[in-house]
Amino acid sequence: MWARMSEHFGPTYVRSWASSVVLADLGNRTVLEAVADGLEYRQIWRAVWKHEELPDRLR
């Protein structure tokens, strides 16, 4: 998940994005909050993928 997110957002911006953008599909949590709460990386990545409207090939 982190590698895919770094690819999309860039290695310097990914952590900032992950700590500031709240995703409805993660129960109104940020990526970092979802990780801390023990959500599966697959579920988190799918929420990011959907939010960013990434192509199916990256799913």
* 4-55 pLDDT tens trace: 999 999 999 999 999 999 999 999 999 999 999 999 999 999 999 999 999 8
- pLDDT computed for residue 43 by the predictor: 97
Number of domains in the chain: 1
Task: Write the DSSP symbol of residue 29.
Answer: B
d(CA 5, CA 51) in angstroms, rounded, equals 12
Please report where in the chains the tokens 């860039």 appear, as a residue. 10
Where in the sequence is the domain holding 29, given as residue range(s)? 2-58
Q: What is the pTM of this model?
A: 0.91
